[in-house]
Structure 1
Amino acid sequence: MNSLIAVATVKEEVKMKGSDIQAKQKKYSLQSWSAQKNTAPIPVEKAEGMYFWDFEGNRYSDMSSQLVNLNIGFGNKAVNQAIKDQVDQYCFLSPAYAAESRANLAEKVISVMPDNISKVFFTNGGSDANENAVKIARMFSGKFKVFSRYRSYHGSSFGAGNLTGEPRRYALEPGAPGFIKFFDPYIYREAIEFTSEADATAYYLTKLKEQIIYEGANNVAAIVLETITGSNGVIIPPAGYLPGVRAICDEFGILMICDEVMTGWGRTGKIFGFENFDVKPDIITFAKGVTCGYVPIGGVAVSKEIADYFDDNYLSCGLTYSGHPLACAAGLATINFYQEAKILDNVNAVGKVLAETLEKLKEKHACVGDVRYIGLFSAIELVKSKESKEALVPYGKDPEGVMPKILGMLKAKKFMTYFHENMLIVAPPLIITAAQLTEEMEKMDEVLTQVDQTFL
C-alpha cells in the first residue's frame, strides 16, 4: 500500500458542544441570504426522518424539507448504503470516463421522463442545470433571447441569476443581454377580476404572445418556467396555461424549458410537476429531490431532437463534477426508494389533508389572504386585509422585520420552515404521515392566531 495513503494520525476525538459549533461557523463561514451579524444557526446533533435535534435535546420538525429538497427525510438507509458502496469502489471519476453509477442513473432518469426526452447532462445542482439548459437552447436554436417570469427563482449564479425574476437578481445587475421577463399567471394579485380560469389563461397567453412578437420571435431561443412558481408563492398555473405556452412555443419555433428543480421527484403528487398539466417540455431541469441533498447533483434532460443535434455539433458544456459517482449512486437509490415505497401515493393522500387544513386556516384567520397547494407543496399568503389584499409586508421590503418575527414564533414551537416575501412555505418531507402533518399544522394555527392579534 502506498505509504502516503496508509499514514493516519490517531488522536482522541473531542466532541464539540453545540455552542462551540455555532460560534465557529459564525466566525469562519458566510451564511446564505443573510446579514451576518445577527445569524444564529441551530447546531444540529442528530436527525432522523422528518425531525432533527439540537445539542440540548430539543426536537424540531422539518416542515420545508430543508430547502424543499429533503423529500425522503434524514437517514434513509438505502441511500446511505448506496453511497457507502460507491465509496468502496471509488469516490470520483472524470466525466470523460464511463462509471456504472453514472450510466445507471442516466438510464433511470430517462426512464421516468416523457417519451420525447432521450438524454441527460448532469450538473452539480439546480443553478448550473438552468445555466446549461440556456446554453444548450442557444446552441441548438442559434437564437439568444430567453424569456422567464418576474416571480421566478432559477438560481443565484450569474446566468441563473439573470434568468431569475425576483429581487435576488438585483445583486447581479446590470445583467447579461438577452434575458426577458414576463408576468406570472398570478390571479390572486391581478388587477383584473376574471370570470373563470379560462379567461385568465386567455389573458396571460395573449400578453405573452404579444411580448414575443415585440421582442422578435426569430430572436427567442426559449421560454423558461418553473412549472409551478416555487418559493415566490407556489403559484399554480390556471387550466390550459401550460398547454397554451407549449402551443406558442410550437408556433414560433421556441424551446419550452420546465424548471423542475423544486417541483420534480414527487413534490406535487406526480414525478414531475408538468405531468399535472399534460405537456411535454423540450428541456427539463432538475436537482434537489433526485438525491434529496444526500450528495449534490442536478441535470438537464433534453429531447431526442436536441440530443441528436449534438451528435455532430460540439456540446460546449462541461463540469468537473458532472455525474459525480457518489451523487449518481445516491440518485439511483433515491429514485428506487420513491418507487418501492410508493411515495406518490403518500403525497396524494397526505396532500388532501394538507389542502383541507389550509382551507380551514384561510377561513379562520384574518391574516391569511390566500392558500395555494398541490401535493405536499404549499404557501400561505399573509395580508393586512382580506378585502384590499394588501400584503403583510411590501414586495421586496420588510423594514420592521415582520416576517422574521413570525418565523421566530414558529421556531419557538419547533416548526421549522422559511418565508419569502409575505409567504410562509409549507412543504414537508414526502414521507410525512397524516398524523404528523396534523400535529404540526396545529402549531401553524396557533402562530397565525398570534399574527392576527399582533400585526393586524
Structure 2
Amino acid sequence: MGDLNGCSRRRADDPPAPLTTADRTLAHGGPAIQTEGDAPDHDLHHPLPLRPDRPRRRHPRDRDGPDRPGHRGQGAVVHRLPGVPLTPGSEEARAAERRVREDDRNHVFHSWAAQATIDPMPVAAAQGAHFYAYDGTRYLDLGSQLVSANLGHNHPDLVEAIRRQAGRVTNLNPAFADDVRGELARRLVDRAQGDFSHVFFTNGGADAVEHAIRMARLHTGRRRILSAFRSYHGATGSAIMATGEARRHGNPTTDGDIEHFHGPFLHHSEFYSGSEEQECERALTHLEHTIQAWGPKETAAVLIESVVGSSGVIVPPDGYLQGVREICDRYDLLYIADEVMVGFGRTGTLFAYEHGGPEVRPDLVTFAKGVNSGYVPLGGVLISPAVYGTFAERPYPGGLTYSGHPLACAPGVAALDVYERDGIFERVADLGERVLRPALERIGAEHPSVADVRGRGFFWALEFSDGQGGAPDLSGFAAELKAAGIWPMVSGPRLHIAPPLITAEEDLVAALEAVDRAVSGVDAQLS
C-alpha cells in the first residue's frame, strides 16, 4: 500500500487547511492517537512481549529537532513524562518502574487473566492521546483504554471540572439533590434521540445493564430477556449471562431467564445471505421467530448493542434497528439499547442507534465510558416516561452508594460541553469517512491476510484469516506496532481501531501507515 496521505484528498500543491478550534483543543497536550478488549480468547488486556529479534522503530512523528522533549539526535526519542518529576532512564525512574511492577505482580488481581502468566507494562504518565512508559517511550493508544478515553488523557476542561468539584463537594449520598448530577441528567435527556425523562446513574456499563434488565422485568412483569450472540454486556450477574460469546463460559449461571438470538453479520452469516438487505430481512425474521418460540407474554425485552463492540465491531445493516423497534412494538416488548462502548460520538453521533433513523427510539439506553471519557467511573440508564411511571408511586428496589457521584458527574458535564463546543461528533463523522474508511478498505484490498474491514466513525476492525478457516498469529503484528510507538487493541483475530475522538488527522494517517506495514508480516504467514 502506498502513501496514505491521499486519504485526506488534498493535492500536494493545495494550501494546508487551517486548524479548526477542535483541531487545536482536541490535541490538548500534543498531537496523538487514542483509541474493550475484554479479552475473549486470551489475555488481550495485557502486553504481548516485544520480539527480541525485532529492533524498535522510531514512530513517524518522532522527527529530529529541538522541539522534541528528550531529543537524542539521530537515535530513539525519549520523551519527558508529563506531570511526573522523573527523568526517563534515570536510576530514580528505573526504581519507580520496578516498584510499580513488583506491587502489581505481588498484590493486584487482574481481570480476564491467568494471574501468573501476565506481565503488565507499568505506565508512568498519559497526556492527550498518548501514554508513556517509564523509559520515556510514548505510545499512541489505538484502543482508547478499552474504548473509554474519547477525549484523550488529561483534557484540561475535564481535569479542571474535577478540581473545582473536589473543592466543594467530593461525595454525596444519592438521596440528596446535586447540581452536577441534575445538570448531566437533564442534558442527556434533552439531547438523546427518543422519548426519555430520567436517568439512573451507575458506576459503569455492567451495572447499567443490570439495572436496565431489572427495570424491564419490573415494568413488564415478565422475566425473559433476549440478547444477541456475538455480544458483550458486562461481567456481572445478568450482564454476563446476556453476553453472547465465550466470555460467558466459566461463570456460574446466575440468571437462567436470558436467551440468545443471532444478529445480522454478513461476513459470518448464520442465514446463508447473499447481501446486506437479505441478511437484515432474515435476521429480523429470526428474531421474531425467537420471540414467538419463547413466548412474547413471557418476554420482557430485547437487549442489543447498537454496534457490536468488543465481540467484533459489527455495524448493523440499514433497517435492522428500525425493524427491532417495530418487532418490539408488535409484541409489546421493551427495546434496550446498549451504548456503553459506542455512545458519545464513537460513531459520529451521540448514540449509535441514531444511525438507524428517527424511528429508532429505545425504551432504555445504557451508557458509560465516553460519558466522561472514563476519568471517574460513571454509567447510567436513560429511562422512558412509561418505564419511569412504573416507579412513580412504587419504590424502585435498587440503588448504589456512588450513584451519580459528584466527582464523576462534574467531568461528565464538562465532556458534554467539549463535545458540543468543538464539534467532536461532526469531526468523527468527517474523518471516519474521509480518512479511516478509505485507508482501511485499501489495506483490506491489498493484503490477502485481511478477510474483512468494517466499522463507522472512529470504530473499526480489521479481521484476519490464514486462508484455511483459521486465524494467523498476531503476536508479531502487535509487537511491530508497539515498536513503532503504537499500542494496538488486538481481540482474537482482529485489530480494533478505536482512536480517541480528539486524534489529529496527521496522526491517524501515520498510524494507518504503520498498520499497513505491520500487516505485511501477517501476509507472510500465508505463504
1:56-455 to structure 2, matched below 5 A, reads 56-190=135-269, 192-278=271-357, 279-352=360-433, 353-385=435-467, 390-392=469-471, 402-454=473-525
Q: Secondary structure at the match of 1:159?
A: helix
The C-alpha deviation readout for 1:81-113, integer Å capped at 9, x for no partner, is: 110111111210000111111111111211211
- Whether contact under 8 Å (1:357, 1:441) holds in the other structure is yes
Name the amino acid aligned to 2:236.
Answer: S
**Corresponding position of 1:7:** none
Aligned to 2:3: none
Which deviations, in whole Å up to 9, do the C-alpha atoms of 1:197-234 show, x marking residues without a partner? 22211111111111111101101100000001011111
Q: Residue 47 of structure 1 aligns to a residue in which SS?
A: strand
Alpha-carbon distance in 2 for matches of 1:303, 1:177: 26
Q: Give CA deviations for 1:322-362 in whole Å, capped at 9, x if unaligned.
A: 00010010111111111111101220122120001110110
Q: Secondary structure at the match of 1:134?
A: helix
Q: Aligned-pair distance for 1:414?
A: 2.1
What is the TM-score when the length of structure 2 is the normalising length?
A: 0.80
Amino acid at match of 1:453: A
What displacement does 1:405 show? 4.3
Task: Tell me the residue number matched to 1:25.
Answer: 104
Q: Is the 8 A contact 1:83 1:330 kept in 2?
A: yes
How far, CA to CA, are the matches of 1:371 and 1:190 in structure 2? 15
Q: SS of the residue aligned with 1:117?
A: coil
How far does the alpha carbon of each residue in 1:124-156 deviate from its partner, in whole angstroms, 9 at most, with x for none?
000000000000000000000000111100000
Secondary structure, counterpart of 2:183 in structure 1: helix
TM-score scaled by length of structure 1: 0.92
Structure 2 counterpart SS, 1:209: helix
Separation in structure 1 between the aligned mates of residue 403 and residue 470 of structure 2, nearest angstrom = 42
Contact map agreement 1:153 1:230 (CA 8 A) in 2: yes
Which AA in structure 2 matches 1:301?
L
Alpha-carbon distance between aligned partners in 1 of 2:237 and 2:398, rounded to the nearest angstrom: 16
C-alpha distance in 2 between matches for 1:212 and 1:406: 43
Over 3 Å counting, the alpha-carbon distance change for 1:405 and 1:179 in structure 2 is farther
| 2:38 counterpart residue number | none
In structure 2, relative to structure 1, the CA distance for the partners of 1:404 and 1:218 (3 Å cut) is farther
Letter in structure 1 aligned against 2:151: I
AA in 2 matched with 1:248: I
CA contact (8 A) 2:368 2:379 kept: yes
What is the rounded CA distance, in whole Å, between the counterparts of 2:503 and 2:133 in structure 1? 21
Deviation at 1:50, TM superposition (A): 0.7
Contact 2:262–2:270, Cα closer than 8 Å, also in 1: no
Aligned-partner residue type, residue 442 of structure 1: E
Distance 2:262 2:197 in 1: 31
CA contact (8 A) 1:232 1:423 kept: no
- In the alignment, residue 314 of structure 1 is paired with which amino acid? P
Alpha-carbon distance in 2 for matches of 1:188, 1:281 = 27
Quick one: which amino acid aligns to residue 91 of structure 1?
T
Query: Secondary structure of 1:172's partner?
Result: coil
Q: Which runs of 5+ in 1 are unaligned?
A: 1-12, 394-401
Separation in structure 2 between the aligned mates of residue 349 and residue 208 of structure 1, nearest angstrom: 33
Give 1:455 deviation, angstroms: 5.4
CA distance in 2, matches of 1:307, 1:55: 49
**Which of 109, 112, 116 is 1:37 aligned to?**
116
Letter of the 2:364 counterpart: I
Q: Matched residues in 1 for 2:253 and 2:157: separation?
A: 46
SS of 2:317's equivalent? Answer: coil
Contact 1:350–1:433 at 8 Å: present in 2 too? no
2:404 aligned partner, one-letter code: G
Contact 1:119 1:302 survives alignment (8 Å): yes
Gaps of 5+ in 2: 1-85, 87-91
Q: Higher relative contact order at CA 8 Å, sep ≥6: structure 1 or structure 2? A: 2
Q: Distance in 2 between matches of 1:160 and 1:407?
A: 30
| Residues 381-414 of structure 1, C-alpha deviations (whole Å, 9 max, x = no match) | 11112xx6x2416xxxxxxxx3444323322222
- Is the deviation greater in 135-144 or in 39-48? 39-48
Provide, for residues 252-280 of structure 1, a one-character-per-residue CA deviation record: whole Å limited to 9, x for no partner.
Answer: 00000000001100000111000000211
Give the number of the structure whose residues are more often helix, by fraction. Answer: 1
Distance 1:95 1:262 in 2: 25
CA drift of 1:115 comes to 4.1
**Offset of 1:419 from its aligned partner?**
2.1
- Identity fraction in percent: 37
Amino acid at match of 1:373: G
Q: Please say if residues 66 and 417 of structure 1, whose CA atoms lie closer than 8 Å, have aligned partners that are also in contact.
A: no
Aligned pair count?
434
Shift of 1:24: 1.5
* Greater shift in the superposed pair: 81-90 or 104-113: 104-113
Closer/same/farther in 2, CA of residues 35 and 372 from structure 1, 3 Å limit? same
What is the alpha-carbon root mean square deviation over aligned residues? 1.7
User: Is 2:447–2:519's contact at 8 Å kept on the other side of the alignment?
Assistant: yes
Q: What amino acid is aligned across from residue 112 of structure 2 in structure 1? A: W
Match of 2:14 in 1: none
